A and B are shown apart, each in its own frame.
Chain A
Amino acid sequence: MKRDAFQAIADPTRREILSMIAHQSLTVNAVAGNFNVSRTAIYKHLKILTECGLVTIYPLGRERFCEARMERLVEVSEWINQYKQFWNSKLNALEYYLGAVKKIPVKKGKRS
């Protein structure tokens, strides 16, 4: 199954992990320490997040740090933008229509 950003944020724990590291990278241990579930469970979530490209894990000294790749979440926000684009284009058409109606002289016939 293809892993994507939607799947990554479908789980509340993974969303919490993302929020936690959105502003600053944290060690894998620090992330795991913030949850009441087993470390193994958190490692699994981190694995999915890395597979979706939302998190990168890099070694620094003896620690492994988790960094959020928020730019990947853009793909999630795109569908909201689709609606914005839809309404903007519809309202452009409305504006154009209203303007065109105004320009039509009361008498029919003449075309420029």
Chain B
Amino acid sequence: MNDVLFNVGYGHFLVLAAVLFLIGMVGVLLRRNAMIILMSVELMLNAANMTLLTFSRMWGDVGALSAHTFALIVIGVAAAEAAVGLAIVVAVFRGRRSVDVDKLNALRH
């Protein structure tokens, strides 16, 4: 039991990443507020980053730093995505006085 709790290894990081990813995924799937959904997407992206770094460490990919580079790119893209996403949410809110995604179904028909 102690072994599992305190002997922190790759498994712990991967499990944490999986939990973060799941929380983000459930948020994206179930929440109705566009803002929350954007936040959940951020959570998922960072969970992915975490696995990238963990596996990099596991495979001994220390010198090449490809996973670290990848993670940095993901952070950058996430920032851009957040900017665009928030802008859209603001624009939608201006038009409709609501950011409830269930009501954003104008393209349904």
- Binding between chains A and B: no
Instruction: Show the binding face of B for A, using Cβ within 8 Å.
Output: none
Instruction: Show the binding face of A for B, using Cβ within 8 Å.
Output: none
